[in-house]
Amino acid sequence: CTVPTHRVVERLQRHTDTAVRNLLEEPFLDEMMARDSERRLLSTRGALKEVSEAYAAASEVRRILAHLSEKLSTSESDKGAAAEPNKGVLLLDICSGKGLVGLLLSRLLPEAHVVMLDVNGDMD
């Protein structure tokens, strides 16, 4: 990626969107900036929209998993599953495009398995 890390971070810092602010505080951001492919994804024109979508999706997934965990913890036969409610979770990102939403979901929900699908095989 030809875009320097500091330029990508400066661009992100100019935005007041809550999701972008959250991304700037993530412990994994430095690792993302160190990888050319991930830094390139964050430097694209549609990146800010995709960051917001990823955080909204992660929030909803966490809400659903918390609800399922609560339901499982009330069942005597599933106490082991309730102890690790996120283990084995599969997230399917259909029409994943360049993959920023799927990438961020895998960073935000590391215990989940994220599968990305897109009909366009030429996507990065």
- The C-alpha atoms of residue 38 and residue 99 are separated, in whole angstroms, by 9
- The C-alpha atoms of residue 110 and residue 35 are separated, in whole angstroms, by 18
| Whether the predicted pLDDT of 27 surpasses 60 | yes
Contact yes or no for 109/91 (Cβ under 8 A): yes
Up-side HSE of residue 43: CA atoms within 13 Å toward CB?
18
Q: Which residues pair with 101 in a beta bridge?
A: none
Q: What is the pLDDT of residue 87?
A: 72
| Whether the predicted pLDDT of 59 surpasses 70 | yes
pTM for this prediction = 0.78
Tell me which residue of 15, 28, 10 sits closest to 110, measured CA to CA. Answer: 28
Q: When comparing pLDDT for 100 and 74, which is higher?
A: 100
Contact yes or no for 44/88 (Cβ under 8 A): no
- The C-alpha atoms of residue 82 and residue 66 are separated, in whole angstroms, by 10
